Amino acid sequence: MNQFTFDWQRPEHARVTSLLVRELFSSGFRRVIKWAVIAILVIEFLFIVVMTVMGEYDSVLRLGPLVIAVGILVWLFYPITGQIRAWQLQHSDPNVKHPIAHTLDQDGYHISTHTADIVLKWPGIYKVRETPEFFLVYYSRRYAYYLPKRVINGQEEVSKLAEWIRARLPDGIVYEDG
């Protein structure tokens, strides 16, 4: 049995949320939308360049700041989303003010908070992803619980836990490094 208790940290939660949102927009229809928005911004930028070359400074001064502002928002979409979600959680979930315990045992992955206990049995795990900072235990294609590596004593223990998890995952459940 492996048990880890830690305090919730808003910046950490924001990073996990940003990572999950980035992953969400990396495939399927959301990926098409992402690239369509980027393509529109590139076309608008090229339009501004052409307008500048043609001497249409009045149009450039009206359109340019808008294109720059939208471009900055698109560029910051993932971190802003993470920050907003972490802020919302901090102000709406009483559990973040208390220690959170994550336990991994033969039955599965257990999370114990101030007001709730969650049990995710090994066959119910969608996948496990290890990042440089976290273990992400997905309970669906989009959503995951996270265990920060900061609460594990050293890289050797992180490696041992990774191997321990791999050994318990049922066939067909993916363990991703990276």
Based on the domain organization, do 29 and 71 belong to the same domain? Answer: yes
Based on the domain organization, do 38 and 76 belong to the same domain? Answer: yes
Tokens of 146: 């996270």
- Please, where are the H alpha helices in the chain? 10-24, 28-53, 57-75, 77-92, 154-168
Based on the domain organization, do 166 and 113 belong to the same domain? Answer: yes
Residue 121 pLDDT > 90: yes
From 69, 88, 107, the end of a domain falls on: 88
Average pLDDT over residues 128-133: 96
Q: What does the pLDDT read at residue 159? A: 95
Based on the domain organization, do 81 and 23 belong to the same domain? Answer: yes
Average pLDDT over residues 139-162: 95
Tokens 């249409």 appear where?
Answer: 56
Q: Determine, yes or no, domain membership for 77.
A: yes
Q: Interior CA angle at 18 toward 32 and 96, to 5°? A: 145
- The CATH number covering residue 122 comes to 2.30.29
Q: Determine, yes or no, domain membership for 115.
A: yes
From 53, 69, 88, the end of a domain falls on: 88
Based on the domain organization, do 58 and 104 belong to the same domain? Answer: no
Based on the domain organization, do 108 and 84 belong to the same domain? Answer: no
From 88, 110, 145, the end of a domain falls on: 88
Q: What does the pLDDT read at residue 9? A: 97
Query: Taken in order 17, 133, 7, 161, is the CA torsion positive or negative?
Result: positive
Residue 67: pLDDT band (50, 70, 90) is confident
- Which residue segment(s) compose the domain that 77 sits in? 19-88
Based on the domain organization, do 47 and 73 belong to the same domain? Answer: yes
Q: Determine, yes or no, domain membership for 14.
A: no
Based on the domain organization, do 77 and 113 belong to the same domain? Answer: no
Average pLDDT over residues 71-91: 91
8 A C-beta contact, residue 108 and residue 8: no
What is the rounded CA–CA span in Å between residue 120 and residue 68?
45
Based on the domain organization, do 40 and 80 belong to the same domain? Answer: yes
Average predicted confidence (pLDDT) for the chain: 92
Q: What does the pLDDT read at residue 58? A: 87
Average pLDDT over residues 39-60: 88
Average pLDDT over residues 65-71: 88
Q: Determine, yes or no, domain membership for 13.
A: no
